[in-house]
Amino acid sequence: MSAKQIVALLNSHLEGDEELFLSIALQAAAQAARSGSKQDAEILKRLVQKARDRRREDILVAPSPIPLARPKGELQGLVESAYPKTLLTNMVLSEDVEARLRRLLLEQRERAVLRDHGQRPATHVILVGPPGTGKTMTASALAGELRLPLFTVRLDALFSRFLGETAAKLRLLFDQVSQVRGVYLLDEFDALGARRGDQNDVGEIRRVLNSILGFMEEPNSTDSLVVAATNHSSMLDEALARRFDELIEYKVPDAGAAKAVVERRLGKFKVNAVAWKRLAGALDGLSQAELVRAADSVVKGAILSGQGEISTERLEAALKDRARVRHRFSARVET
């Protein structure tokens, strides 16, 4: 293969464009045949045909996600669907978190290759960390990267005042995960996965948790990606936590990441290097969500007032205001 073909092959792989990837492979097969390597050319052609046959089988066998675009029947009110366009490049992530998410995406994209070698892709991941650090947005980015629908499960709709109904609803949800490929987000997962034996534990919660434990052991026939998110990892049942393929921890952004988040949200409004030094203290300790809200409030103020720039003082005041709000609510929780 020529260097250009290798570059094109890698680009198609990174973009998740399987058809382009296979077309380039066929070009390489034709080139091999012309150069006299007919055996290599035939092997490449057979592999491409095998890949295309598998894709056709997946389309025919796997249920389409379209019916869940507007959930009906018992699923209505339990699952909300969307088709996000968010990508990992839209987020500011630590190197470790981004590397682990990209590895997760690679396993999903190359799941057929893994299965050919007796392995399976990671399909259950739990995101832990403080509120506003990007856990929910990560689920959208994973769906966007994989070009899959995002199904957000309303946990409040799962719980029923009638004993036994919650487990039945979970069974309905688990069947959909198995039958319809997508990214399923279970936010505030500690509400479902609280430790058995806790002081406030009740029979219904134990039944729910046992149902989830059983589900985690079932084969995922569609390779759906189940993303659980929690702000309170210490509340999770240990047996449940062990069943996740990946546990990814999110933290409040450091100084460099915080600056990157604000710069991205400010867009065309720029802040000079001297001003950033002044703002360093105000950035400290704020989550991504808090940084975004502070930046957005300043940008909207500049737009509505007709100003072509933002002042360092207003940005600093907005950041400090977000910090005050956080401290106020944190104090309420502690008391």
Phi, psi of 150 (to 5 degrees): -105, 120
Distant-in-sequence, close-in-space partners of 94: CB < 8 Å, separation ≥ 6: 251, 253, 254, 257
Phi-psi region of 85 (alpha: psi -120 to 50; beta: other; left: phi over 0): alpha
Per-residue tokens: 39: 């055996």
Question: Domains in the chain and their CATH numbers?
Answer: 3-61 (no CATH), 69-249 (3.40.50.300), 255-334 (1.10.8)
Per-residue tokens: 169: 């609803």
How many angstroms separate the Cα of 154 from the Cα of each of 80, 158, 335? 8, 7, 29
Q: Would you tell me how many other CB atoms lie within 10 Å of the CB of residue 200?
A: 6
CA–CA dist 18, 9 (Å, integer): 10
Phi-psi region of 195 (alpha: psi -120 to 50; beta: other; left: phi over 0): beta
Residue 36's pLDDT is what? 82
The per-residue pLDDT for range 7-58, each reduced to its tens digit, is 777 776 776 677 677 777 777 777 777 788 888 878 877 887 777 666 655 5
Name the nearest CA neighbour of 310 among 319, 281, 253.
Answer: 319
CA–CA dist 220, 305 (Å, integer): 54
CA-based torsion, 24, 25, 28, 33: positive or negative: negative
Residue 71's pLDDT is what? 52
165-179 and 203-217 are packed helices; what angle lies between their axes, rounded to 10 degrees? 20
Q: Is the pTM of this model over 0.75?
A: no
CA–CA dist 162, 238 (Å, integer): 27
Instruction: Find the distance separating the first CA and the last CA of the chain, reported in whole Å.
Output: 67
Per-residue tokens: 326: 């956080």
Q: Please, are residues 125 and 245 in contact by the beta-carbon 8 Å criterion?
A: yes
The pLDDT profile of the chain, 335 residues, written as one tens digit per residue, is: 667 777 777 776 776 677 677 777 777 777 777 788 888 878 877 887 777 666 655 544 444 444 444 555 666 667 888 899 889 988 888 889 999 999 999 999 998 888 888 888 999 999 998 888 899 999 999 999 999 999 988 776 666 555 567 777 777 778 878 878 899 998 877 666 554 444 444 555 666 667 777 777 777 667 889 998 888 766 666 766 777 889 999 988 888 899 999 988 888 888 888 888 888 888 888 888 899 999 999 999 888 888 778 888 899 899 989 888 877 766 544 44
Distant-in-sequence, close-in-space partners of 124: CB < 8 Å, separation ≥ 6: 216, 226, 228, 243, 244, 245, 246
What are the start-end ranges of the E strands in the chain? 79-82, 124-128, 150-153, 183-186, 225-230, 246-249
